[in-house]
Amino acid sequence: MSAVAAALRRSPHDREILRLAVLALGALAAQPTFVLIDTAIVGHLGTPQLAAIGIAGLILGGAFAMFNFLAYGTTSQVTRAAGAGARETADRLGAQAFWLSFALGSALALAIGLAAPQLVEVMGGEGGAADFAVEYLHIAVLGLPFSFLVLGGQGYFRGISDLRTPLVIEVVANALNAVLVALFVYGFGWGIQGSATGTALAQGCMGIAFLVRMLRQTHGRFALRLDLMRRLLRVGRHLFVRTVMLYTSFLAAGAVAARFGDVSIGAHQVAIQLWFFLALLLDAIAIAGQVIVGRMLGAGDADGAFGSSARMIALTVYLGFAFAVVMLLAEGWLPRAFTSDPAVLDQAQRIWPIFAAMQPLNGAVFALDGILIGAGDARYLMWSMVAATAAAVSVALATLHYDWGLVGVWCALFVLICVRLATLSVRFSRKRWLVTGWA
């Protein structure tokens, strides 16, 4: 009991951690909230439409997630520069991230738009669900370049410890998305096309808002700088591989779920979107870790970086336990907010205990991930993720071979989190990530 009481006592780092984490919540939850709103609204149109949103969400979410190094890598570099007193360099790094974000977002939008039927087929989409998914993608990709601007903008504003700006912009954008999607789907009767149109318009407004704010904040320091752009790319390449590996795990899980039929992918979509939403809420403390750890290491304070990191891990685990309890209590009614299909609800209930049990583990993993990103320890993060993905994909393939169903799919995701927790814990405890200075 005394150990528990000591762990629950306030830490000198709590105030800043919680302030940054609360401000990060809105920005972190933006992308999954867009899809979550679409899922809740479109899910009542029918099971094929719900399955289509699941397939399209995996494709678009994966494109967005694979390039989140634009945000994380920018944060780690900008916050170190700001901590070392090099504010002009921090501003110019933010500008390079913005240029990279828009260029990559535009290229991906074009590629996904052209290859939408093939991508949906690879994801296991068939029949009406596949047709709906292709329709959704052809419209939704128009908002992708603007949603990528959010990545560069988030990375820069986090790096200068301004988390209020992303929060305000993305809360307003999510409210706009909810209004537009409901209006177009139910008011105008556009169905799934209305959902895609509303989301693309809201993302466009959000990206433009970030552009305007960054132009003001950087005071004209927005010219291309190839030396700084190369620096971001060097830092980001390991984070890119890390993220591709992570997405590969979720891609394999979604593809296997889709091959068990529309009911399975529908139930998987409900659970995975809630999982992503809760994951990013937990990741809010990890974002605080990126900012605080990067700034302290940039200023040469290794002891402060380690102390604040240990506290962040404890806080995310507590929050994960709270989420697990809430999810277990909500098992009987929460899935009904997304679908009324009895078969889908039955499948969702089968995987719900696994979904809930993952939350405390998620808390520790996301905190460790954010800490090591803030420290710039991207190479280790890459290799640890390769190991975790290999384990998770192996279980997913065994699930398909032995017909373990949706429960097997979620066991694969559970293995992913367990391997990540083991490898990241070893790295944290050995303290090799505590490297100080800007360069």
> Could you give the count of Cα atoms lying within 13 Å of 282 in the half-sphere of its Cβ?
29
Output 284 or 8, whichever has higher pLDDT: 284
Residue 256 lies in a domain: yes
Long-range contacts of 403-406 (CB under 8 A, 24+ apart): 405/260, 405/264, 405/350, 406/257, 406/260, 406/264, 406/267, 406/268, 406/347, 406/350, 406/351
In a domain, 278, yes or no: yes
pLDDT tens for 19-54 read 887 777 766 666 667 777 777 787 777 778 788 887
The answer to whether residue 5 sits within a structural domain is no
3-state secondary structure of 260: coil
pTM reported for the whole predicted model:
0.76
Domain count, the chain: 1
122 inside domain: yes
Amino acid 275 reads W
Q: How many CB atoms lie within 10 A of CB 437?
A: 11
Residues 361, 364, 365, 371: what is their CA dihedral angle, to the nearest 10 degrees?
180
Query: Phi and psi dihedrals of 31, rounded to 5?
Result: -65, -50
8 Å CB contact between 170 and 27? yes
Whether the CB-CB separation of 243 and 68 falls below 8 Å is answered with yes
d(CA 112, CA 119) in angstroms, rounded, equals 8
Q: Which two tokens stand for residue 87?
A: 């504010």
E strand or H helix that includes residue 109? helix 87-114
Q: In terms of residue numbers, what domain contains 273?
A: 11-430
Give the model confidence (pLDDT) of 387-425 as tens digits.
Answer: 999 999 999 999 988 889 888 999 999 999 999 999 999
For residues 136 and 222, the model is more confident at 136
Burial of 3 (0-12, 13-18, 19+ CB in 10 A): exposed
Residue 1 in any domain: the answer is no
Report the alpha-carbon distance of residue 41 to residue 43 in Å, rounded.
6
For the segment 245-279, what is each residue's pLDDT rounded down to a tens digit?
A: 988 898 889 889 888 888 888 888 888 878 887 88
pLDDT digits (tens, 9 = 90+) for 191-234: 888 888 998 999 899 999 998 888 888 777 777 788 888 888 87
Classify residue 223: in a domain, yes or no.
yes
Position 101 in a domain? yes
Helix 30-42 to helix 164-182 angle (10° resolution) is 10
- Contact indicator for 75, 151 with CB cutoff of 8 Å: no
pLDDT at res. 31: 62
* Residue 231 burial (CB count, 10 A): 16
Domain membership of residue 437 (yes or no) is no
Mean pLDDT of all residues in the chain? 84
